[in-house]
Amino acid sequence: MSKYVLGIESSCDDTGVAIIRDDGHICANMLASQYVEHEEFGGVVPEIAARAHLEKMDQLIIAAMRESGLNFNDLSAVAATCGPGLIGGVMVGMMAGKAIAAAHNLPFIAVNHLEAHLLTARLTNTVDMPYLCLLVSGGHTQILVAEDIDRYKRLGTTLDDALGEAFDKTAKMMGLPYPGGPYMQKLAQDYESRCAENGIDPKDIIAKYDLPAPLTQQKNLDFSFSGLKTAMRKHIDAIEADVISQQDAEELAYAFHQAVIKVLEKKLTRAIEQFKIDYQDALSALNTPPSLVVAGGVAANSFIRQALEDLTAAQNMTLIAPPVRLCSDNGAMIAWAGYERFKRGLVNELDFAARPRWPLDPNAEKRIGAGVKA
Ligand code: KG4
Ligand code: ZN
């Protein structure tokens, strides 16, 4: 008989509720995003986020159950994000999950949001562990190795801003709406198309802005994006007009993307080298080439996807980039991570405490400034 898991996500600004079947079929996947609520503040306001999760949660659970055609008693387990993230929101989803588990006598599974991002690849593709992961979201930027369920090794993390945060903050400086990542992408794409029409190489613009590629001279696999953000601010401040012209905005967005890609390529090339050496035996036991999994909202970026596609092809690796709607926060990834843990007998008690900080690799060295991004 098939098993079904309900998954609940509420760690940032997306309320997600989904039901997945044990073969990976997504029976329902409901999402309510809070763009409108946070737009005027240019970023996520924790208190507003928690209230918005509370307002939407019940309706989404009812809608997901209805869409799946299941009853609560048909479920095998209930999974909810219990961290890391904004604690008010996390508590809303966690308590909803615990209440359903208690009322229907179902196992409860406390899901680490980051683990769920990394396991999404196994919902959409057949991929064996170990695999290398690039997690790039609004809250996190990490390179990790997924060694096993519940066992991850962090190779690098950001020391300051997450990549999505750098996109959003730069976009805000340019007067773009929140979240700015997709708007930045659109501007860069428009620039590329305009160059193509005029027979210009878009890469010529890189020298004009000369943006930094922070930490690429260092051997470690850590990131820093605050210097890039500051460099962008200087260019934006140097523009005398009150409103940035379309041309300047397109050029800046394109140059920003190229700087980001340079950093990602440098760090990932080193990470791949290390991964292939450190996991040599496990990788040779696989019947497939090693995989790089990309996850998190920024993985939706078409320039980044293309750069990773080229990089992995050159390294005889397979890039696994789940569809955009499963890369950014959603309930299906929580339900799937819940199922993977349930299958291993990793269930939790109802007194499990929410964890605003919850590093995937407890043995990783602390990074000053990284905070919850570690
Ligand atoms: O994973 P996610 O939905 O939520 C977090 O856990 O943070 O990621 C949201 C982030 C935001 O910073 C958003 O601007 C960024 O992902 N993002 C993008 C794109 N789509 C979403 N960044 C760059 N290009 C995109 N196309
Ligand atoms: Zn996320």
- The residue range of the domain holding 336 is 4-122+326-373
Indicate the helix (H) or strand (E) that contains 312: helix 302-314
Q: Which atom of ligand 1 is nearest to the CA of 11?
A: 6
Q: What is the pLDDT of residue 13?
A: 87
Whole-number Å distance between alpha carbons of 95 and 62? 16
- Domain end: 300, 324, 348, which one? 324
Q: Is any atom of ligand 1 closer than 6 Å to the C-beta of 138? A: yes
Query: Do the beta carbons of residue 140 and residue 83 sit within 8 Å?
Result: no
Note whether 307 and 349 are same-domain residues: no
Note whether 46 and 111 are same-domain residues: yes
Q: What is the pLDDT of residue 98?
A: 98
Note whether 180 and 162 are same-domain residues: yes
CB neighbours of 271 closer than 8 A, spacing ≥ 6?
Answer: 132, 143, 155, 156, 221
- Number of domains within the chain: 2
pTM: 0.94
Residue 71 Cα, ligand 1 centroid: separation in angstroms?
33
- Beta bridge partner(s), residue 110: 80
Q: Is any atom of ligand 1 closer than 6 Å to the C-beta of 164? A: yes
Whole-number Å distance between alpha carbons of 185 and 277? 35
Residue 328 Cα, ligand 1 centroid: separation in angstroms?
6
Query: Do the beta carbons of residue 180 and residue 35 sit within 8 Å?
Result: no
Q: Which atom of ligand 1 is nearest to the CA of 164?
A: 12
Q: Is any atom of ligand 1 closer than 6 Å to the C-beta of 166? A: no
Half-sphere exposure of 350 (CA within 13 A, CB side): 14
Buried/exposed 340-373: b ≥16 CB within 10 Å, e otherwise:
bbbeeeebbeeebebbbebbbbeebeebeebebb
Note whether 320 and 334 are same-domain residues: no
Q: Which of 328, 330, 333, 372 to mutate to test the pocket of ligand 1 (most atoms within 8 A of CB)?
A: 328
Note whether 16 and 99 are same-domain residues: yes
Q: What is the pLDDT of residue 42?
A: 73
Residue 295 Cα, ligand 2 centroid: separation in angstroms?
8
Q: Is any atom of ligand 1 closer than 6 Å to the C-beta of 89? A: no
Q: Which two structure tokens, joined as six digits, stand for 249?
A: 């905005």
Note whether 14 and 104 are same-domain residues: yes
Note whether 149 and 172 are same-domain residues: yes
Note whether 55 and 140 are same-domain residues: no
Buried/exposed 190-202: b ≥16 CB within 10 Å, e otherwise:
bbbebbeeeeeeb
- Beta bridge partner(s), residue 345: none
Tens-place pLDDT, residues 72-85: 999 999 999 999 99
Ligand having the closest approach to the CA of 165: 1
Residue 280 Cα, ligand 1 centroid: separation in angstroms?
33
Q: Is any atom of ligand 1 closer than 6 Å to the C-beta of 167? A: yes
Note whether 212 and 317 are same-domain residues: yes
Note whether 309 and 342 are same-domain residues: no
Burial class (CB in 10 A: 0-12, 13-18, 19+), 188: buried
Residue 302 Cα, ligand 1 centroid: separation in angstroms?
12
Note whether 204 and 287 are same-domain residues: yes
Query: Do the beta carbons of residue 18 and residue 88 sit within 8 Å?
Result: no
Q: Is any atom of ligand 1 closer than 6 Å to the C-beta of 329? A: yes
Note whether 20 and 157 are same-domain residues: no
Burial class (CB in 10 A: 0-12, 13-18, 19+), 71: exposed
Whole-number Å distance between alpha carbons of 130 and 280? 10
Task: Report helix, strand or coil for 150.
Answer: coil
Q: Is any atom of ligand 1 closer than 6 Å to the C-beta of 300? A: yes
CB neighbours of 197 closer than 8 A, spacing ≥ 6?
Answer: none
Q: Is any atom of ligand 1 closer than 6 Å to the C-beta of 107? A: no
Q: What is the pLDDT of residue 141?
A: 95
Q: Is any atom of ligand 1 closer than 6 Å to the C-beta of 177? A: no
Q: What is the pLDDT of residue 367?
A: 75
Taking only the tens of pLDDT, the chain with its 374 residues reads 999 999 999 998 899 999 999 999 999 999 998 888 888 887 788 989 899 999 999 999 999 999 999 999 999 999 999 999 999 999 999 999 999 999 999 999 999 999 999 999 999 999 999 999 999 998 899 999 999 999 999 999 999 999 999 999 999 999 999 889 999 999 999 999 999 999 999 999 999 999 998 888 888 999 999 999 999 999 999 998 888 999 999 999 999 999 999 999 999 999 999 999 999 999 999 989 999 999 999 999 999 999 999 999 999 999 999 998 999 899 999 999 999 999 999 999 999 999 999 999 999 987 766 555 55
CB neighbours of 235 closer than 8 A, spacing ≥ 6?
Answer: 209, 252
Whole-number Å distance between alpha carbons of 90 and 7? 13
Ligand having the closest approach to the CA of 31: 1
Q: Is any atom of ligand 1 closer than 6 Å to the C-beta of 181? A: yes
Q: What is the pLDDT of residue 368?
A: 67
Q: What is the pLDDT of residue 221?
A: 96
Domain CATH code at residue 85:
3.30.420.40
The CA distances from residue 258 to 34, 222, 228, 297, 368, in Å, are 29, 18, 11, 18, 27
Residue 138 Cα, ligand 2 centroid: separation in angstroms?
7
- Beta bridge partner(s), residue 158: 223
Ligand having the closest approach to the CA of 334: 2
